[in-house]
């Protein structure tokens, strides 16, 4: 019985790390070719801050072209966007409040992929030749030079067959209003504003692998991983928002008319140098893109380009988008999202009001969580002790019925006798596992929360420069190995053969150390501290009457085995 309990303990730690990808793999998956969703009762109105307007109407047959390329830069306190009139698209989208790995303001245009697959807010059409023309023509810009939000920029192009107007409006948020209209040979042409080439914080294979295309309508959100995305596929709406995201940032479109919206998905390969100094050696990565627009006429929508910070997302209104009417679902807190979100709010409060350092906030929160879970640890030890006391009687019952096969009806009598024994002695056969199962949702939720909290990105703590990345000196994973080894040595394991116990005392710490080697430092900090606190708790438990009784039982079993 104790071997089973120890196996459950080991598998529980593994489940904490593997639960989310297993859920994605074996859980309900979005269809490869989504069908048209049901129409809602009413279409939500546009927000008051961005009043509904008709998209600009291009005039067919009027020639309007620029003679040379020019740039327009517009900025507010959050971003600096550089437009070029070649294609009326974005060359640079810098977030002022976030840094890249070199400490410079973060560039959200993927400069490795965009020259090959397209720049943000270019137009996507189903005909490649026309698409190339739309995104290479020299548009006439309404303004050039440097501008400060709030403001508007309009780009126009016209020849004998094609007439295009692209208008962008800016305020003091991360949201930009987009209005586009394309007419070709006198008729409306489906041309989607698009974010085609991933995001600029994707600088290694792991970052590219974390990218997804997501969309939401009402309370239903779909998260499409790379393997579920086809290049050039069209997903019919309605959508309240849809776009491309990675671990910490997003470019999400919010169509003004969700009913007429459709999304084009892009997936392209890119050779990413393993070392910028040696571009000959590369890794193959996948770049995702998404464009949202109206299949039957002009497109009017907003686009959010910015961090997946919970307070920022909750400030972006998406009327009708689920029960929240905002973008908070861009942060995937996992299966136990309610718990994870509460833990994050608590962690952020600790950071803002107590310590002003995310590492120390994790330390404080981990301490409180482990103290709160101490009664469950004590309950688990008591249950294990009770089970050990009745082990001789259980074995006697099992010996009595071992000659019968599992299909023999008399096997049921064995179960009845064992149940009667449990009831008489007040033993719950799953009592040792139940406290562990109660802890599991909190452990998994904490793991999921630390993995998506953008606040930990580039957050410092002692020798660690980035709590969202692996510990550069690997001190925390080594600490996990040492503390797990001590925990295994100190924890009473009354039902285990001594040879097996020695093996587990060595294998379990090494196994968990390998798992934690490249995990985010913030998660390793939580894990290492939890194990250290567990050691302190175990010291006091071992000195208690309960611990002494378990040790006596272990010594008695060892003496019996020697005989």
pLDDT digits (tens, 9 = 90+) for 29-60: 444 444 433 333 333 333 334 444 455 566 55
Higher-pLDDT residue of 535 and 271 is 271
> Residue range 144-169: average pLDDT?
95
The string of pLDDT tens digits covering residues 219-239 is 889 999 899 998 889 999 899
Kindly tell me if the per-residue pLDDT of 514 is higher than 80.
yes
C-alpha separations of 179 from 136, 149, 153, 241, 401 in Å? 19, 17, 11, 16, 78
Does residue 292 contact residue 253 with C-beta atoms inside 8 Å?
yes
Calculate mean pLDDT across residues 467-486.
Answer: 89
Phi and psi at 402, nearest 5°, equal -70, -20
Residue 159's alpha-carbon distances to 133, 138, 311, 395, in angstroms, are 11, 11, 46, 91
* DSSP string of 66-106, one letter each residue: -SS--EEEEE-SSEEEEEETBTTEEEEEEEEEEE-TTSSEE
Q: From CA 97, how far away is CA 115, in angstroms rounded?
A: 25
Please list the helix, strand and coil fractions of the chain in percent, rounded to the nearest 5, in that order: 40, 25, 35
Residue-by-residue DSSP string for 141-165 = ES--EEEESSEEEEEEEE-SSEEEE
Question: What residue spans of 244-320 are helical by DSSP H?
Answer: 310-314
Domains assigned to the chain: 2-19+345-390+427-562 (no CATH), 66-332 (2.70.98.90), 391-426 (no CATH)
Classify the C-alpha dihedral 148-91-285-290 as positive or negative.
Answer: positive
pLDDT at 561: 61
Give the pLDDT confidence score for residue 504 in this predicted structure: 67
Strands 89-99 and 233-236: unpaired
- Mean local confidence (pLDDT), 507-516: 81
Residue listed under structure tokens 């990675």: 246
Q: What is the CA radius of gyration of the chain?
A: 30
54 vs 441 pLDDT, higher one:
441
Of 448, 442, 466, the residue nearest 358 (C-alpha): 466
In sequence order, what are the beta bridge partners of 156? 140, 165
Distance of CA 468 to the CA centre of its chain: 12
From CA 189, how far away is CA 515, in angstroms rounded? 52
pTM above 0.75, yes or no: yes
The position carrying tokens 């060892």 is 558
Return the DSSP state at 356: S
User: In this structure, are strands 175-184 and 299-307 parallel, antiparallel, or unpaired?
Assistant: antiparallel
Contact by Cβ (8 Å): 427, 386: yes
Q: In what order do the strands lie in the sheet with 278-294?
A: 122-124, 192-195, 278-294, 261-275, 233-236
Distance CA 476, CA 285 (A): 30
Q: pLDDT digits over 318-353, tens only?
A: 877 666 789 999 999 988 889 999 999 999 999 999
Asked if residue 379 has pLDDT above 80, the reply is: no
> What kind and span of H or E run contains 543?
helix 521-543
Query: Distance (Å, rounded) from C-alpha 303 to C-alpha 90?
Result: 13
CB atoms within 10 A of CB 390: 18
Interatomic CA distance for residues 395 and 235, integer angstroms? 61
Sign of CA dihedral 271, 275, 279, 280: negative
pLDDT digit string (tens) for 81-139? 999 999 999 999 999 999 998 899 999 999 999 999 999 999 999 999 999 999 999 99
Mean pLDDT of 542-558: 71
pLDDT at 6 over 50: no
pLDDT tier for residue 427 given thresholds of 50, 70 and 90: confident
Place of tokens 């039982």: 553
d(CA 209, CA 285): 8
Instruction: Judge if the upstream peptide bond of residue 150 is cis by omega within 30 degrees of 0.
Output: yes
Rounded to whole angstroms, the Cα distance separating 119 from 105 reads 19
């Amino acid at each position: 019985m104790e071997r089973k309990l120890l196996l459950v303990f080991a598998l529980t730690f593994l489940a904490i790390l593997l639960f989310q990808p297993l859920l994605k793999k074996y859980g309900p998956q979005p269809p490869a070719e989504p069908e048209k969703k049901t129409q809602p009762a009413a279409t939500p109105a546009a927000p008051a801050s961005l009043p509904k307007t008709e998209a600009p109407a291009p005039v067919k047959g009027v020639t309007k072209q620029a003679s040379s390329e020019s740039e327009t830069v517009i900025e507010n306190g959050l971003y600096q966007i550089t437009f070029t009139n070649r294609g009326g698209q974005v060359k640079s989208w810098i977030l002022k409040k976030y840094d890249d790995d070199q400490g410079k303001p973060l560039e959200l245009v993927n400069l490795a992929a965009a020259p090959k697959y397209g720049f943000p807010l270019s137009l996507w059409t189903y005909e490649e030749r026309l698409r190339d023309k739309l995104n290479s023509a020299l548009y006439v810009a309404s303004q050039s030079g440097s501008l400060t939000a709030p403001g508007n920029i309009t780009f126009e192009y016209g020849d004998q067959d094609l007439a295009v107007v692209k208008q962008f409006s800016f305020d003091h948020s991360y949201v930009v209003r987009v209005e586009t209209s394309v007419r070709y040979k006198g008729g409306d042409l489906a041309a989607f504003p698009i974010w085609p080439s991933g995001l600029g914080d994707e600088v290694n294979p792991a970052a590219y692998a974390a990218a997804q295309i997501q969309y939401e309508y009402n309370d239903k959100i779909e998260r499409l991983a790379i393997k579920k995305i086809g290049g050039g596929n069209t997903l019919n709406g309605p959508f309240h928002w849809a776009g491309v995201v990675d671990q910490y940032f997003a470019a999400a479109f919010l169509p003004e008319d969700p009913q007429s919206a459709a999304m084009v998905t892009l997936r392209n390969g890119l050779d990413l140098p393993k070392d910028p100094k040696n571009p000959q050696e590369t890794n193959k990565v996948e770049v995702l893109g998404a464009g949202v627009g109206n299949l039957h006429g002009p497109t009017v929508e907003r686009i959010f380009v910015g961090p997946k910070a919970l307070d920022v997302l909750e400030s972006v209104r998406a009327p009708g988008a689920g029960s929240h009417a905002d973008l908070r679902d861009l942060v995937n807190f996992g299966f136990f999202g309610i718990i994870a979100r509460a833990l994050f709010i608590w962690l952020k409060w600790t950071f803002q009001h107590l310590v002003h350092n995310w590492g120390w906030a994790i330390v404080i929160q981990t301490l409180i969580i482990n103290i709160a879970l101490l009664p469950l640890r004590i309950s688990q030890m008591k249950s294990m002790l009770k089970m050990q006391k009745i082990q001789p009687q259980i074995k006697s019952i099992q010996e009595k019925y071992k000659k019968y096969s599992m299909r023999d009806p008399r096997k049921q009598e064995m179960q009845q006798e064992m149940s009667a024994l449990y009831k008489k002695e007040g033993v719950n056969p799953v009592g040792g596992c139940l406290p562990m199962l109660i802890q599991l949702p909190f452990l998994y939720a904490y793991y999921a929360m630390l993995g998506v909290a953008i606040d930990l990105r580039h957050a410092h703590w002692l020798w660690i420069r980035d709590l969202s990345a692996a510990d550069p000196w690997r001190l925390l994973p080594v600490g996990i190995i040492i503390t797990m080894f001590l925990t295994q040595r100190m924890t009473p394991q009354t039902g285990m053969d001594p040879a097996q116990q020695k093996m587990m005392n060595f294998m379990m710490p090494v196994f968990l150390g390998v798992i934690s080697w490249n995990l985010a430092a913030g998660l390793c900090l939580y894990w290492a501290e939890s194990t250290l606190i567990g050691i302190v708790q175990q010291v006091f438990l071992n000195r208690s009457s309960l611990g002494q009784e378990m040790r006596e039982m272990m010594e008695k079993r060892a003496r019996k085995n020697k005989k």
